[in-house]
Amino acid sequence: MKSIVHSPQSIEKFGRDRKYNIKYVRAGLAPARNLSKKRMIVRSISAFTLLELLIVISIIAILAATMIPNFIGFDAEARLAASKTNLNSLRTRVSLFRTKEGRYPQELEELLEVTYNDMGVEKTYLDSIPPEFISSKDGNSDLQSLDSDEFLPGGGGWVYYMDKAKVIINWDMPLDSKWGKLEGEIPSEW
């Protein structure tokens, strides 16, 4: 904001002058030739009013209230997507094992030990067991091999049903509301 420079005498003169009104002097629009040698500097203080501050704070609060729940939901959705992707990877590797070896693995650990020839390169079916993120935010890669008629422990990780050659997530409780759209689903049934 520009400072207005004028003397008290010039204000009186412009106030009486028909061409210039005092409002022009205050706005800094009066001609400089009419200013006396004794100058008085009028400084304007620029600051935000309390109302302006409250409006800005209210807008920020509204934006935060609408955005924070969206970011919180991304964590659960990402964990679900990663768990489903890892489940499908394990099932695909079991199918590849069946195709290459002519049998299903007796235990899931065989995918880490048995190799196959991929165009002259010997590879294991899996480099490591991927984690599931339903039971823990850090992930759980525990493996258990069971028959399908055995009780599912439900402690997290993976279960390989040897008699069905099927991999499932070792979590038999329904998902709660923090999982969003999948609330009520049971991961072991995927």
Tell me: the pLDDT tens digits for 65-89?
887 766 666 778 888 889 999 999 9
Residue 32 sits in the same domain as residue 89:
no
Inter-residue contact 109 to 143 (CB < 8 Å): yes
How many residues make up the chain in this entry?
Answer: 190
Q: How would you classify the pairing of strands 4-6 and 121-124?
A: unpaired
Residue 63 sits in the same domain as residue 33:
no
- The pair of structure tokens assigned to 109 is 């650990």
Residue type, 61: A
3 state SS of 10: helix
pLDDT of res. 109: 92
Residue 79 sits in the same domain as residue 24:
no
pLDDT of res. 41: 55
Q: What is the pLDDT of residues 17-71, one digit of tens each?
A: 444 455 554 555 555 555 554 555 555 667 888 888 999 999 999 888 887 766 6
Residue 15 sits in the same domain as residue 99:
no
User: What global pTM score does this model have?
Assistant: 0.62
For residue 150, pLDDT over 80 is answered with yes
Which residue range(s) make up the domain with 15?
Answer: 4-42
Inter-residue contact 157 to 106 (CB < 8 Å): no
Residue 88 sits in the same domain as residue 157:
yes
Residue 30 sits in the same domain as residue 73:
no
Residue 147 sits in the same domain as residue 116:
yes
Residue 113 sits in the same domain as residue 64:
yes
Task: Return the CATH number at 116.
Answer: 3.30.700
pLDDT of res. 125: 92
Residue 9 sits in the same domain as residue 74:
no
**What does the DSSP assignment read for 94-123?**
HHHHHHHHSS--SSTTHHHH-EEEETTEEE
Which backbone phi and psi does 27 adopt, to 5 degrees?
Answer: -80, -5
What average pLDDT does the structure give for the chain?
80
Residue 33 sits in the same domain as residue 94:
no
Q: How many domains does the chain have?
A: 2
Residue 11 sits in the same domain as residue 56:
no
Lowest-confidence segment of 18-27, 148-157, 177-186 by average pLDDT? 18-27
- Read off the pLDDT band of 1 (50, 70, 90): very low
Residue 87 sits in the same domain as residue 105:
yes
